[in-house]
Amino acid sequence: MLFFTADTHFRETRGIAIDRRPFASVKEQDETLIANWNAAVAPDDTIWHLGDFGRGPTEEIDAILARLNGEKHLIIGNNDPEPTRAAAGWASVSHYHELRVSRFEGGWHPANPLDPAPDETRLLVLGHYAFRTWNLIGKGSINLHGHSHGRLKPITRQLDVGVDAHNFAPVSLDAIMARLIRRRTKNPAHDRDRG
């Protein structure tokens, strides 16, 4: 399965105060985030972290990454210093990524050119920040982001995947698509206006 998350801020105190996270300490926050991550993500799943993973020496970031399930990809956020980016636990590290996904009867998956014709395909545009416009916005592409800690008003085909917006846990691609489709059917005129 494919998962997305952002804004974990491992080893950081300021998220507890600024974002009013319900944790008494950084240790409680980090242990809860790790438990929630591993409850959702299996060892053979893939997860994209859309920035602000955490701060600390590379060895400590590696120790956290080693405790987290899944193949982990990092989209760099404004609070991901060099030691975080340099950790060996990342399968990839970049500022931006585009990922094509396909829907079959069993759900949504990363697109594979060898697959039979899917029921539907979409382009996911991944970045730490919410974009005002993005590649193929008029063709149904979706922007997934972090950074805003659930504070931005949702718009069509855009979703904050940060932990503050999703009960301190990663969110699956299937859940994202179901949520965006529900939002679109509630306001189809808005969807038409956005292209």
Structure confidence by residue, pLDDT tens digits, 123-157: 999 999 999 999 999 999 999 999 999 999 988 99
Residue 19 vs residue 80, higher pLDDT: 80
pTM for this entry: 0.91
Can you tell me the distance from the alpha carbon of 7 to that of 168, in angstroms, rounded to the nearest whole number?
9
Q: Which domains does the chain have, with CATH numbers?
A: 2-194 (3.60.21.10)
Q: What confidence score (pLDDT) does residue 185 get? A: 55
pLDDT (tens digit, 9 = 90+) per residue, 151-177? 999 889 999 999 999 999 999 999 999
58-67 and 26-40 helices cross at what angle (nearest 10)? 40
Indicate the pLDDT class of residue 119, thresholds 50, 70 and 90.
Answer: confident
What are the beta bridge partners of residue 97? 126
Sign of the CA dihedral running 160, 42, 60, 30: positive
For 161, residues 6+ apart whose C-beta sits below 8 A from its C-beta are: 4, 5, 6, 50, 144, 145, 146, 170, 171, 176
Q: What confidence score (pLDDT) does residue 22 get? A: 95
